[in-house]
């Protein structure tokens, strides 16, 4: 019983710690076609269902769930990105920003 309790506490701590690194943002409305195009360019995984559509990437040019964008028809989209980034578009939310040159 002690091991189960310890496992549950550890799982909860890791889940909360990972959530602290993620940031939720609101993005402008995006059509399914525009979302699929941005998703393809970011090498992500596009999905569409009855209630909405979205894309997930590893933020580095591959499929994954580190960077997610979800949209519901005729509403603004929501994005979840890692770190302190502030993307302004679906394409920016799905990819890792390029480093600024000095």
Residues 6+ apart with CB under 8 A from 19: none
pLDDT tier at 78 (50, 70, 90 boundaries)?
very high
Q: What is the pLDDT of residues 2-11, one digit of tens each?
A: 544 544 565 5
Q: Is 72 left (phi over 0), alpha (psi -120 to 50) or beta?
A: beta
C-alpha span between 101 and 53 (Å, rounded)? 35
Q: What is the DSSP string of 42-71?
A: TT-EEEE-SS-EEEEE-SSSSBSSSEEEEE
| Verdict on whether the full-model pTM lies above 0.75 | no
């Amino acid at each position: 019983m002690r091991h189960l309790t310890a496992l549950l506490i550890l799982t909860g701590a890791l889940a909360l710690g990972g959530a602290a690194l993620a940031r939720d943002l609101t993005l402008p409305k995006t059509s399914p076609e525009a979302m699929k195009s941005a998703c393809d360019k970011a090498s992500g995984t596009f999905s569409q269902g009855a209630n909405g559509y979205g894309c997930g990437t590893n933020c580095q040019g591959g499929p994954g769930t580190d960077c997610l964008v979800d949209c519901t028809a005729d509403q603004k989209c929501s994005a979840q990105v890692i770190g302190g980034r502030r993307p302004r578009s679906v394409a920016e939310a799905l990819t890792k920003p390029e480093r600024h040159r000095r």
